[in-house]
Structure 1
């Protein structure tokens, strides 16, 4: 029995040492993952704020315009798509569509001087612009946290812990192709 006690103690000691070595990287990965999830939640909060502002903006514009139904439908459809988006990629794509539709909606004010001067419209437009800035900051923060998390899951030795405990690579919040370009709006040939 004594001859097995030495190797048994050595095996237990190795297991304890391996366990202690794994605690630090594991806890770091958990912290980075939580930070990434929090950052994504911040994007969601700002996107929801924008989704909530859109109906007020559309109603204000509708009060001045009667011939812009396609723009209103595009804004409504984009808003619905954003509200139903789940993954960061879906949210980024829907966000691009909302940006495009809102740009066309805001551009309508150029055709309607009374709308352009309306205090409610300008207030909502300014609130929307502020929200857009918050979304940009939240996206930047999220992508930075994802970058740090993804690096940690790929670097040795934490990559071993990441593999053992299913810390998978996370996707960045990236604008889709058409969302990277400013929309072209031309009301020159439109009938009023």
Structure 2
């Protein structure tokens, strides 16, 4: 009888120990994924900040190439830098579907404004197409947009991993108790499947 009681106590203690280790592991996994999501969002913000910092500086450099290009490049810099202020320094905890859409809309508006300014420049000054500095600016714009796209894709991948973990059984039990919730990722804006027209 005493041996059976000891065995029962050992089994119960073993189960409690296993559940405790499993709970800690599940919680730590959720924390790790949450931190990964925050890190990836910081990468997105860093890319936006890079764009906001780089484009005006590139434009300022290119402006020196020819005086008649001054007005056009200033418009490009203002279009890029001015409209992106809202997308930088957004805490990841404040992200929701509506805020993500606002950030995407702001980013799209900035890119559209830049394309429009470049198109106007090309129409006014056809020689700009041959300017090496102008070509470099276009390459930097493309590279910057590619960096932002990669950062967004990495962010969405981190969100996917995190959301899968938060929603999977039995981790979803601990996630609910500990306050971990699924997070929204970037989604394409309506009409974004159409490529914007760039005229030269």
Query: What range is the shorter-chain TM-score in?
Result: 0.7 to 0.9
Matching of residue 101 in structure 1 with residue 102 in structure 2: no
Kindly state the Cα deviation for residue 126 of structure 1 after the two structures are TM-superposed.
1.0
Match of 1:151 among 156, 160, 164: 164
Matching of residue 39 in structure 1 with residue 40 in structure 2: yes
Matches within 5 A, 1:79-98: 79-83=84-88, 87=95, 89=100, 90-98=102-110
For residues 175 and 137 of structure 1, the distance between their equivalents in structure 2, rounded to whole angstroms, comes to 14
Matches within 5 A, 1:131-142: 131-142=144-155
| Unaligned segments of structure 1, at least 5 residues | 188-192
- Structure 1 equivalent of residue 83 of structure 2: 78
- Structure 1 equivalent of residue 132 of structure 2: 119
* Backbone CA RMSD of aligned residues: 3.3
Kindly indicate whether the alpha-carbon contact (under 8 Å) linking 1:100 and 1:179 is maintained by their aligned counterparts in 2: no
| Unaligned segments of structure 2, at least 5 residues | none
Q: TM-score, normalised by structure 2?
A: 0.73
Kindly state the Cα deviation for residue 8 of structure 1 after the two structures are TM-superposed.
8.4
After superposition, what is the alpha-carbon deviation per residue over 1:56-111, rounded to whole angstroms, capped at 9, x for unaligned?
35554685165899877654542333346553603322222222122212323431
Kindly indicate whether the alpha-carbon contact (under 8 Å) linking 1:57 and 1:125 is maintained by their aligned counterparts in 2: no
Kindly indicate whether the alpha-carbon contact (under 8 Å) linking 1:26 and 1:162 is maintained by their aligned counterparts in 2: yes
For residues 73 and 31 of structure 1, the distance between their equivalents in structure 2, rounded to whole angstroms, comes to 39
After superposition, what is the alpha-carbon deviation per residue over 1:138-173, rounded to whole angstroms, capped at 9, x for unaligned?
111111111111011011000011111111111102
Aligned pair count reads 184
Kindly indicate whether the alpha-carbon contact (under 8 Å) linking 2:37 and 2:159 is maintained by their aligned counterparts in 1: yes
Distance 1:122 1:56, change over 3 A: farther
Q: TM-score, normalised by structure 1?
A: 0.75
- Structure 1 equivalent of residue 21 of structure 2: 20
Matching of residue 64 in structure 1 with residue 69 in structure 2: yes
Kindly indicate whether the alpha-carbon contact (under 8 Å) linking 1:36 and 1:142 is maintained by their aligned counterparts in 2: yes
Kindly indicate whether the alpha-carbon contact (under 8 Å) linking 2:121 and 2:128 is maintained by their aligned counterparts in 1: yes
